[in-house]
A and B are shown apart, each in its own frame.
Chain A
Amino acid sequence: MITIGMDLGTQKVKAVALKDGAVVGRGQSFAGFDPAQAAEHAVNDALNVAGLKLSDINHFTATGSAMDLAPHTNSTVSMMGADAKAGVFLIPQARTIIDVGAEEARAVKCDERGLMMEFVVNERCAAGAGAFIEAMARALEVNLEDMGPLSLQAERASPINASCVIFGESDVVSLIHRQESKPEIARAVFDAMADRVTSMVHRLGITPEVVLIGGVAKDPGFVASLNRKLGLMVQIPVYPDYVGALGAALTAAARAKGAFK
């Protein structure tokens, strides 16, 4: 049984090839202006790594905000459904899964079968998501990947408002004018984001284990802030940005077997 899961996110498209319950290939590409084309690239990369051809695939399942544009699709699954399935597949004790992507943060409560029981999504604003870090990195004139390590050097926290990217940016500018150091401002950015994500997760209720996935899970600065705000250590799988695509691939496998709709 070979399936492909595609996650057409707002910034990147990820693909995972799954063979008999094991990941055999991954690929990703910038979504850009043509997410369908990007998905083709990601799928080809995953197939190349796995040494497979398109014709070997039993079932394609797409997820992500642009899932309706995905090529080859046999079925689709919601992002929350995919997160729950793959989260529990990777970390069987996972019951709360937090997914922080480029434009959206969400949290899913799931059961031991990897079925989503409940979910919450951040309000229509990217302040709790990856795009916020990007905007703030620009304001601080540092590289995106340096934001996390920089924030870890901070000695104290300066609060900013992350109710909105635009307001957040003007708060950051005020901190710059107050001549706060870059590490402190970077820490303020992650703390503000983590605050938003934490209140969102509290609306759902926190059931351990808590797993963090999505591209932002790769940022050590955000992870440190989130652990502090949640008062626990989130677990992070090895490829946090591929979890959605893996969930789609697992759904594809279940559907190919006719297990559920």
Chain B
Amino acid sequence: MNKNETVERRYLPEISRKEIDELKNTVKVSSQKIIADNIERMKKADPHRPDAMKYFDDIANLFGRRQQEIQAEKEKGKKVIGYLCLFAPTELISAADAIPIRVNSGWYDTSKLGDRVVPVEVCPVIRSTIGAKMIELSPFLEQSDALISVLTCDGMTKLSEILSDQKTIWGMNVPRIKDSTQSLRFWSDEIRHMKTQIETFTGNKITRNSLKEAITVSHRATKVFRRLQELRKGNPVIMGRDAMLVNQAYTWDDKKRWTEKTEALCDELEKRVQQKDWVCNSDTPRVMLTGTPMFWPDSWKLPTLVEEGNPQGIIVADEQCSGERILSDPIGVDEWSMDDMLNAISERYLMASTCPCFTSKDGNEDRINWLLNKVKEWNVQGVIYYVIRGCMLYAMEYSRVKKALDKINVPVYYLDTEYTREDVGQLKTRVEAFMELLNARVDF
């Protein structure tokens, strides 16, 4: 169905083909430049960068190889199902022989276009995704035949409505109270409903075998991801930005190939550990990022400031839905019956999430526990609490996180920004002051 013609646009403005093409070309050129620049800087930051990173540099080109591969698959009749939030059960998509792909937008330029539709107070992830749709910039968003939108926050809720002007959208209702049996029951129904929807749409039945296979693929990816994270516990053997790129690329790459390439990276890194070949001095402050997501490529702004700062820091862990949360938790299947697998998927996607859209009788305590555990296991010396303006949930949960980190005497810095590139100077001052603070604590 070409929704472009059949549905009246309730939100999106009419833009002429000429303007769309012009804007798309301009923004694409600027985006490719930013991708190239980010990678160039990552290469410079680590002169002995692992060879295995070459693959990820290539896959990081959002307008490159992966776009072509997906196009070829589509031409053979495969469906692409995009998703806007980590709660989307990607295993169900894969099990129906469709391609799951995350389509959240990390472009600053398109966030400015989104301002034509929603006010600037709205979170830039939302504005940028709207802008990307307006000018058809995002290859993966354009290639998606349907989108799963999980209604976690106000922005996501309305975003799905706005995108439904031009895309087939399947909303998933996520319960906000995590620790109740009725919530899990409700969510479990949503998951089962999504299974039917995907089956009907693709025309492919999700079988016990195909779902088992999809879950197994996820298990392997989680296993290698955990291996990579394990390597970040000791002296730094990989720059944080490199690990973050590998991590995030999973959301648009082919899952099996990603797993192989990440295995190769880990093999290489393990050799480096033996050779004591570190990427920076062992006394470089070890930083964890938490807060709002950092989508490639424009959100590399902050990690770049940390790792190229004077004094320099090294990112060793994060607690973000654009980062470790993607792969941290495996789907815990006991018996491989269809029912058991679906229950396991429901639990994995609901219970493992530390998104601040949730509360429970102890508030979002899972997030606090995650952070405290990371600080301890990854020997984190300072936490940057990153909030892109417009995200109420993360902004409001800060006080609690700060109190928890104060208790264990780990400094945390609240850094609020936007997708904008213009505030780099001010952010640099703050980030470097925080690194100086962390250094001073080590010195005395």
Hey, which bits of chain A sit against chain B, CB under 8 A? 65, 76-81, 113, 115-121, 123-124, 260-261
Flag if A65 contacts B425 (CB, 8 Å): yes
Interface status of B182 (Cβ within 8 A of chain A): no
Q: Tell me, rounded to whole Å, the shortest Cβ–Cβ distance linking A247 to chain B.
A: 12
Interface status of B416 (Cβ within 8 A of chain A): yes
Contact with A along B431-442 (1 / 0, CB 8 A): 011101101110
Dominant SS among interface residues on chain B: helix
Flag if B311 contacts A261 (CB, 8 Å): yes
Number of A-B residue pairs with CB-CB distance less than 8 Å in the complex they form: 46
Q: Tell me, rounded to whole Å, the shortest Cβ–Cβ distance linking A131 to chain B.
A: 14
Known: A113-B444, A124-B423, A124-B426. A78 touches B411 (CB 8 A): no
- The residue of chain B having its C-beta at the shortest distance from the C-beta of A65 within the complex is B429
Flag if B436 contacts A78 (CB, 8 Å): yes
Flag if A119 contacts B433 (CB, 8 Å): yes
Flag if A117 contacts B310 (CB, 8 Å): no
Flag if B439 contacts A115 (CB, 8 Å): no
Flag if B437 contacts A117 (CB, 8 Å): yes
The listed residue (B430, B433, B441, B444) touching A81 by CB distance below 8 A is B433
- The residue of chain B having its C-beta at the shortest distance from the C-beta of A113 within the complex is B444
A122 to B433, CA, bound (A): 14
Which residues of A have CB within 8 Å of B416?
A: 123
Interface residues on B, range: 20 to 34
Known: A115-B440, A123-B416, A260-B440. A76 touches B433 (CB 8 A): no
Top 3 A-B pairs, shortest CB-CB distance = A78-B433, A80-B433, A260-B443
Q: Tell me, rounded to whole Å, the shortest Cβ–Cβ distance linking A117 to chain B.
A: 7
Flag if B440 contacts A78 (CB, 8 Å): no
- The residue of chain A having its C-beta at the shortest distance from the C-beta of B412 within the complex is A118
Known: A76-B310, A123-B416. A81 touches B443 (CB 8 A): no
Flag if A81 contacts B440 (CB, 8 Å): yes
If A81-B436, A81-B440, A260-B440 are given as contacts, then 12 extra A-B residue pairs at C-beta distance below 8 Å, sorted by A number, are A78-B432, A78-B436, A79-B429, A81-B433, A113-B444, A118-B411, A119-B433, A119-B437, A120-B414, A123-B416, A124-B423, A261-B311
Flag if A261 contacts B443 (CB, 8 Å): yes
- The residue of chain A having its C-beta at the shortest distance from the C-beta of B425 within the complex is A65
A205 to B429, CA, bound (A): 22
A76 to B443, CA, bound (A): 17
A174 to B44, CA, bound (A): 54
Q: Tell me, rounded to whole Å, the shortest Cβ–Cβ distance linking A125 to chain B.
A: 11
- The residue of chain B having its C-beta at the shortest distance from the C-beta of A251 within the complex is B436
Which residues of A have CB within 8 Å of B432?
A: 78
For B423, B429, B433, B434, the residue with the greatest tally of chain A CB atoms inside 10 Å of its CB is: B433
- 12 inter-chain pairs at a CB distance below 8 angstroms, sorted by A residue, are A76-B310, A78-B433, A79-B429, A79-B433, A81-B433, A81-B437, A81-B440, A117-B437, A119-B434, A119-B437, A124-B426, A261-B311
Q: Tell me, rounded to whole Å, the shortest Cβ–Cβ distance linking B211 to chain A.
A: 48
A185 to B439, CA, bound (A): 45
